[in-house]
Amino acid sequence: MTRFVTEQKTQQAVLKQGSTRLRLISGTSNPALSKEIASYLGLTDVPIISKRFADGELYIQIEQSIRGCDVFLIQPTCAPVNDSLMELMIMVDACKRASARQITAVIPYFGYARADRKTAGRESITAKLTANLLVESGVDRVLAMDLHSAQIQGYFDIPCDHIYGSPVLVDYLSSKDLGEVVVVSPDVGGVARARAFAKQMNDAPLAIIDKRRAVHNIAESLTVIGEVANKTAILIDDMIDTGGTITAGAQLLRKEGAKKIFACASHPVFSPPSYERLSDDGLFEQVIVTNSIPVPEKQRFPQLKVLSVANMLGEAIWRIHEESSVSSMFRQ
């Protein structure tokens, strides 16, 4: 089982002695996650003024000195994605003008990640454009979690640390009596992710759903490659958006005789009509996600389980600040 190594007691002792120049600043996308990260590190967020002018323009002012500090800006670029991204870049600019020593953008969810390549003529590669914008805004480093594809890490012309939410998901599932497990990729593109997850689940067998997509956000599942009958199927993906892919896969697994079905994803994007699809009684035992994106109360349903990645992000932030290894957080 993969776990991440923490040094929380040492960190908090050092931080409380005031011997560090580490500063956290939260955007408005996910302040609850920022508070959890700050609590793990024994810090409080740097206060900022964030408001809008009458015409919708954003205004940011940092309310205390960050001169010479290592500043970590915590802002998933989730919906409304354009506002979240622009707010992040304005915070970066404010930090640079306040003479921060180093600025790291902590992006638990990276918006526009699905536009990572050209699939038709005259398309933009918006994931690369977004990376360029962040670099040009003045970010020195990026900490991201579960990017949609591994190649996005290379889109940044600055250091980019890429961590995964799978240890949190695996630890939770391992605490449950699941019986015989099979890990299922909802499409061929997610096979590498599902294979890595299956290895963490005590080398569980792997199955793949062969799927054809006609248009964006509408998926048609065709067949299952692998044995799922009388097993607990764990559908794993990086995100759940409209829920079309994951629910179509679950329906097919039911037809193929799966005993129980769990859906797992790091990012609960949850665009309509995801609520109606995911809350379908009897389809999922649980839908397990992380708090990389906040889930409003109106989008929560009985089968939903939200796990926190705050400690893992906090540990990564500490290691970046201390210039120690981030990858060594994880061990087999």
Read off the pLDDT of residues 112-156 as tens digits, 9 standing for 90 and up: 999 999 999 999 999 999 999 999 999 999 999 999 999 999 999
Q: Which of 128, 199, 211, 231 is catalytic?
A: 211
CA-to-CA dists, residue 165 to 67, 96, 117, 136, 225, angstroms: 32, 30, 24, 28, 26
Q: What is the mean pLDDT of residues 261-276?
A: 97
Give the three-state DSSP class for 176.
coil
Tell me the whole-structure pTM to 2 decimals. 0.92
**Is 255 marked active-site?**
no
Instruction: Tell me the per-residue pLDDT of 32-89, one tens digit each, with 9 for 90 and over.
Output: 999 999 999 999 999 999 999 999 999 999 999 999 999 999 999 999 999 999 999 9
Q: How confident is the model at residue 282 (pLDDT cuts 50, 70, 90)?
A: confident
Q: Where are the alpha helices (DSSP H) in 120-239?
A: 126-137, 166-174, 191-200
**Sheet (strand 141-145) strand order:** 22-26, 70-74, 102-107, 141-145, 160-163
Alpha-carbon distance 210 to 224, whole Å? 6
30, 12 Cβ separation under 8 angstroms: no
- Give the start-end residues of each E strand in the chain: 3-4, 22-26, 48-52, 58-62, 70-74, 102-107, 141-145, 160-163, 181-185, 206-215, 218-225, 232-240, 260-268, 286-290, 304-307, 330-331
Q: Which residue has the tokens 């290895």?
A: 199
Q: To 10 degrees, the CA torsion angle through 220, 225, 228, 232?
A: -70
Quote the percentage of the chain above a pLDDT of 70.
90
Work out the mean pLDDT of the chain and round it to a whole number.
92
Going along the chain from its start, the domains and CATH numbers come out as: 3-165+310-331 (3.40.50.2020), 166-307 (3.40.50.2020)
Phi, psi of 155 (to 5 degrees): -75, -20
CB atoms within 10 A of CB 9: 9
Q: How confident is the model at residue 210 (pLDDT cuts 50, 70, 90)?
A: confident
Q: How confident is the model at residue 12 (pLDDT cuts 50, 70, 90)?
A: low
Sign of CA dihedral 277, 278, 280, 284: positive
Alpha-carbon distance 208 to 155, whole Å? 29
Sign of CA dihedral 81, 83, 86, 88: negative
User: Could you tell me which residues are beta bridge partners of residue 302?
Assistant: none
Tokens of 40: 């793990």
194, 185 Cβ separation under 8 angstroms: yes
Alpha-carbon distance 272 to 281, whole Å? 18
Q: Where are the alpha helices (DSSP H) in 107-154?
A: 126-137
Q: To 10 degrees, the CA torsion angle through 232, 237, 242, 247?
A: -20
Instruction: Tell me the per-residue pLDDT of 168-192, one tens digit each, with 9 for 90 and over.
Output: 999 999 999 999 999 999 988 899 9
